[in-house]
Amino acid sequence: MSSSINRLFGVAKKTVLITGGSRGIGKMLATGYVNAGARVIISSRSEDALLETVESIKSTTENLNPELFHIASNVASREGCEQLAEDVKEFLPDNRLDVLLNNAGNAWGEPLDRTSGKMNWGWDRVLDLNLKGVFYLTRACLPYMKRESLAEDPSRIINIGSVVGMIPQSAPTHAYDVSKAGVHHLTKKLSHDLAPHNITVNALAPGFVPSKMSEGLSAYASFEEIAKNTPMGRLGDEDDMVGCAIYLSSRASSWVTGVVVNVDGGAVGGMQIPLASDDLE
């Protein structure tokens, strides 16, 4: 990589905290940052899952000296977020966190006419982790991220939203879709609050990417059907997620804040309003 490109897009030696980093998009992102030479800390609830992911990434990474650490945590509560912010201290050189990636999330849904008795539980479970956890952990990590000088490369907060936070999907995932819309709006709100501290806040809104969570949509459509209905004709992959996240963490995006980036194969931006019944086929 040329020196000018490396200066703009390099993230080597940056310290990155990724929640929900043991699987799915979180694991993809952790792999990408480690390959790019960043110092990476991943968290999730399961110690065993974290150890498995660390071993998997270290055994396959292109980085000859990977710095990859893990912390078992539960960011679905304010207390859990504050505990993670305390625990991460030992992995922060000079108490400095360069990138916070709020990725942890879960999904729940059921048809409106179902009376399972789980509705209160489902909404609380999703909003506690997907939305409130983003706010509480961001707030708890600010002491490590505020910069004295605007001349420094900014700290970065990247929130993982979703295209379904922009356009609801045809599945009864009301709580999930609403939580991601909230993440997008919280991103914009925080971007104004934190700009004076030289912190950018942006969101990455993935389209449909194969993962354990997205497998839950199989009751409504197959991955093949979803890919067919995506303008670019395929599902997202690791390179798609990592490429956007690296950009949002690099010097190249240092004047970009309050933005929600769709990484979705055109699922949102490439939509068209059908004008005739044939367009619906």
Report the catalytic residues: 176
The answer for residues whose C-beta is within 8 angstroms of residue 44's C-beta and 6 or more apart is 19, 20, 21, 22, 23, 26, 50, 72, 73, 104
Structure tokens at 179: 């939580």
Residue 239: strand, helix, or coil: helix
Question: In sequence order, what E strands does the chain have?
Answer: 15-19, 39-44, 67-72, 99-102, 155-160, 199-206, 260-263
Q: Which residues of 9-39 are buried (b: 16+ CB within 10 A; e: fewer)?
A: bbbeebbbbbbbbbbbbbbbbbbbbbbbbbb
Any alpha helices (H) in 36-110, and if so which ranges?
Answer: 47-60, 78-87
The most distant pair of C-alpha atoms in the chain lies apart, rounded to whole Å, by 62
Of 210, 198, 202, whose CA–CA distance to 249 is shortest? 202
CA–CA separation, 255 and 247 (whole Å)? 12
